Amino acid sequence: MIRDSFLLSIKNLKQRGIRSWLTLLGIFIGITAVVSLISLGNGLQFAVASQFGISQTELITIEAGGVLGYGPPGTGAVNPLTTNDLEAIKKLSSVKKAVKRNIAPGKLGYNDKLIFGYVASIPSGDDRDFIYEQLDAEPITGRFLKDSDFGKVFLGYNFYVDKVGLDKKVLPGKKVIINDKEFEVLGILEKKGSFMFDNAVFMNEKDMEDLFDYKDEIDIILAQPKNKNEIDRTKQDIEKLLRKQRDVKEGEEDFSVSTPEASLTTVNNILGGVQAFIVIVASLSIFIGALGIVNTMTTSVLERKKEIGIMKSIGARNQDIFLQFFIESGLLGLLGGIAGAIFGTLIGIFGTLGINNFLGTDIKPTIDFVLIFFSLLGSFIVGALAGIIPAMNAAKQNPVEALQG
Amino acid sequence: MKKQKIIIKLKDVHKYYYMGENIVKAVDGLSITITEGEFVAIMGVSGSGKSTSMNLIGSLDMPTKGKIFLDNEDISTFTESDLAQVRGKKIGFIFQSFNLIPNLTALENIMIPMMFQGIDEFEREQKAEELLKSVNLGERMDHYPNELSGGEQQRVAIARSLANNPEVILADEPTGNLDTQTGQMVLEFLKNLNKKGKTIIMVTHDPDLAQKHANVVYWLKDGKLEKITKKKNGWSKIRKEKLKQLKKAK
């Protein structure tokens, strides 16, 4: 009987005019929003996280606060970190290793073109190995820097594929001009999926300090805790030390100490806010869509009053009529859901491809069938619920009156 | 002679409609007994209460007062769902305006009453095909009502009324929307059904039609029974048919 009701409902839906389809717009928009948001969500999170340079490594990042201008982390701080701070952090019992990283904005000339980008320092000795280890990538061509290299650099992947605006690939052995000084390119880093790496120029610490006149200032200190599980305690130790070192009170710090987890939480909080907003919009659309279905089904019951009378005269019980309209209403919702799921999935796929193209990331677009299943189920249920009252009205029609139309 | 089985019995039935302060007595103390195999006409002018009577006989409506027995069961005690089931099974309706469902093909229209009786799809389709062929519409199974002429639609309606093999066919002005020739054909179908043992109840405002085809005519006026006329000839015919059938059965 339920199968029959479904088949009959599909027949009835085929006869519907454009008016009925327009009422599905609400459900369509709602489901589109939900499906595209969730499909994009993972990509967005990954993209944002990678742009913040957040890795899965268990490293604590320390940078000076009170930023004066825009720029890479640590640059332009009122009271920058110094080698004194680094030495003090190194001495902490809960810190296994602390390494300085300098990151500076610079200009690069090649092929008669000039671009602006970032130069990042590579430390020497053991620290170099540590940083390469953390980088977790190999040269795609050429080689990385050694301690004995001076006047040499290696570059991010985007230089290799001509995505930085130089109109020409940069290959090992070529010379580039950085802040008016010539450097030889040793190698190219393989693709990392974030412009923090892919667009960067890597230079030995010594060269960089000369080029940018660093003195004893430091942009970022990376600290590795002795015990991975006590990363938060290590973080507190560093904060306490730096407060003392820099003579600031708790709550008035001119520096920040962050763990990858905390940074990720910040990113997720921002994304969460955006998601909450879209979910509210989606819920409103679905609610409006449901009202549309109530409306169109109520009209439909009035229009098909005679049909209800005929059905009753040939043996339809109230529950048969109810089921008929209830299922029809659910199918109406489902149709909106199907359209929305298709459109939302397309937005998810093309949006992800767009993110990849824009940010140079490499996120695979995915089709989440569980999500699609539940959004379709949800839209059927919303439709069916919206149809309850019209279906009840249809079911309790008096056969004699209904037959008169 | 075996006593004819009483199939429908109205016992002092009243149906009142309340319109503000006024009471409209659409049916006012009607008693009718219809036995199996009869071709009955309920005759009356507009406002005589014949339509209301037909709704009551067809269990589409409940009386304000009085009792209605269908196959010796008092239907006033039935729930709505039971009533629908009984109606679908025991009574086949034929309407003046055909009342086919426009979204469904001829074949599907005939399958619907069987669906409500829970008959499986294969059987439904077979029976519906058979019925459509019996009204000479075997070629038009997949046509929608708007693709059929009035006469064809009424034949589909006749086939539909037979879907659940009911004991009673209730026809409300079955020729009202048809030209004389097509109307005649539809009446022939009804007469044939009657010969095969179906009880036919036809509601009409046309006295000629009533007297020509029916064996018993109930004349209604102002919601009351005015008179009953019987056609002797027809009775004996039916008895002959019955006897033939009985002989065959033996």
Residue A66 has pLDDT above 90, yes or no: no
Q: How many CB pairs under 8 A join A and B?
A: 68
Does residue A392 sit at the B interface (CB-CB below 8 Å)? no
Residues B114, A271: Cα–Cα separation, whole Å: 57
Where does residue A43 rank: exposed (0-12), middle (13-18), buried (19+ CB within 10 A)? buried
Does residue A16 sit at the B interface (CB-CB below 8 Å)? no
* pLDDT above 90: percentage of residues in chain A: 30
Could you tell me which residue, A206 or A391, shows the higher pLDDT? Answer: A391
Mean pLDDT score of chain B? 88
Does residue A10 sit at the B interface (CB-CB below 8 Å)? no
Please name the member of B61, B81, B116 whose beta carbon is closest to the beta carbon of A314. B116
B167: helix, strand or coil: coil
| Mean pLDDT of the region A133-148 | 86
Taking CB atoms and an 8 Å limit, are A315 and B89 in contact across chains? Answer: yes
Taking CB atoms and an 8 Å limit, are B117 and A318 in contact across chains? Answer: no
Chain A nearest C-alpha distance from B124 (Å)? 12
Q: Which of A7, A10, A27 is nearest to A375 (CA)?
A: A27
A313: chain B residues, CB-CB within 8 Å: 58, 60, 87, 93, 99
* pLDDT for residue A77: 66
Please state, in angstroms and as integers, the Cα–Cα distance from residue A334 to each residue in A22, A200, A322, A331, B58, following that order. Answer: 14, 49, 18, 5, 39
Phi-psi region of B205 (alpha: psi -120 to 50; beta: other; left: phi over 0): alpha
Determine the residue type at B33.
Answer: T
Taking CB atoms and an 8 Å limit, are B103 and A12 in contact across chains? Answer: yes
Rounded to the nearest 10°, the torsion over CA A25, A31, A34, A35 is -120
A300: chain B residues, CB-CB within 8 Å: none
The residues near B129 (Cβ < 8 Å, ≥ 6 apart) are B107, B138, B141
A309: chain B residues, CB-CB within 8 Å: 99
**In B, what residues contact A, Cβ < 8 A?**
55, 58, 60-61, 80-81, 84-85, 87-89, 93, 95, 99-104, 108, 112-113, 115-118, 121, 160, 163-164
- Beta-carbon count within 10 A of A384 CB: 21
Tens digit of each residue's pLDDT, chain B (250 residues): 456 789 999 999 999 988 888 888 889 999 999 999 999 999 998 888 888 999 999 989 889 999 999 988 898 888 888 899 889 999 999 999 999 999 899 999 999 999 999 999 999 999 999 999 999 999 999 999 999 999 999 999 999 999 999 999 999 999 988 898 889 988 999 999 999 999 999 999 988 888 888 999 999 999 899 888 888 655 445 455 555 666 666 5
DSSP state of B4: P
Which chain B residue has the Cα nearest residue A14? B103
B55: chain A residues, CB-CB within 8 Å: 400
The ipTM is: 0.88
Token pair in block for residue A189: 């880093």
* pLDDT above 70: percentage of residues in chain B: 91
Taking CB atoms and an 8 Å limit, are B55 and A400 in contact across chains? Answer: yes
> Under a CB-based contact definition with an 8 Å cutoff, are residues A148 and A214 in contact?
no
Question: At CA A8, angle to CA A7 and CA A9, rounded to 5?
Answer: 90
A399: chain B residues, CB-CB within 8 Å: 60-61
Least confident of A98-107, A316-325, A362-371: A362-371
* pLDDT for residue A54: 52
Taking CB atoms and an 8 Å limit, are B116 and A403 in contact across chains? Answer: no
In DSSP notation, A180-209 reads TEEEEEEEEEPP-SSHHHHT-EEEEHHHHH
Chain A nearest C-alpha distance from B4 (Å)? 27
For the stretch A16-63, pLDDT in tens is 777 777 888 889 999 999 888 888 876 777 776 666 655 556 788 888
Taking CB atoms and an 8 Å limit, are A313 and B60 in contact across chains? Answer: yes
Does residue A399 sit at the B interface (CB-CB below 8 Å)? yes
Length of chain A: 405
Which chain A residue has the Cα nearest residue B113? A314
Chain A nearest C-alpha distance from B108 (Å)? 10
A306: chain B residues, CB-CB within 8 Å: 99
The residues near B82 (Cβ < 8 Å, ≥ 6 apart) are none
* pLDDT for residue A69: 46
